[in-house]
Amino acid sequence: MGEPELLAEPRRDGVQGRLDAALVILAIDEMSLVLRAESLEYLGVVIGERAAYVEESAALDYVAGYCVVHDVSEREYQLERGGTWDKGKGCETFGPIGPWLVTADEVADPQELDMWLDVNGVRMQTGNTRTMIFTVGKLVSYLSEFMVLEPGDIITTGTPPGVGMGQTPPRFLKAGDSVRLGIQNLGVQGQQVIGPRSPGNAL
């Protein structure tokens, strides 16, 4: 099984992955493309208490709640420009979170949540968090070995089968596409895909 692969999302508004900054991204209903972007759905885990060197058996005690994360990836940057998978994760409108935070006491088992993602009304991804390679508890514990997790930090987990890059032929997003995604009991979000904007024309 090995160990989880860690990717750090770029800073936004001077804050590294904190919920208050991330919610700014949620306020949009349009998503701007760069070159070859695709949609990926992730379970978001929001930390509620400061966590360092946490035992796996106690890790869920440090979780404030869960949310839907639309973890868009720009494959051109990741595959053809060298470096790590971090590239292609930090474009301006990528990574909308929400529509809300569901507190941990309302989620009986984070490893029993159905997930789905549609593009233009066609189901592209279907899955359940029970198939995650590493459980939420394992991920929280593992990360806390390498960094101190602070309240409001967001951990995005793995995505279900059906990613566009793995299809034949590969399926990437294009201007005009409509994306909707949801996780059982955590809500639904959606974005309309727009084309690249000219330099200086930010949302």
pLDDT (tens digit per residue) in 179-189: 899 999 999 99
Termini Cα distance of the chain: 41
* Confidence check: pLDDT of 157 > 60: yes
* Confidence check: pLDDT of 154 > 50: yes
* Confidence check: pLDDT of 117 > 80: yes
Q: What stretch of H or E contains 73? A: strand 73-74
* CB-count burial class (<10 Å; 0-12, 13-18, 19+) for 152: middle
CA distance 147 to 194: 36
pTM of the model: 0.79
Q: What stretch of H or E contains 19? A: helix 19-26
* Confidence check: pLDDT of 41 > 80: no
pLDDT at 194: 77
Beta bridge partners of 67: 44
What's the maximum distance between 2 C-alpha atoms anywhere in the chain?
49
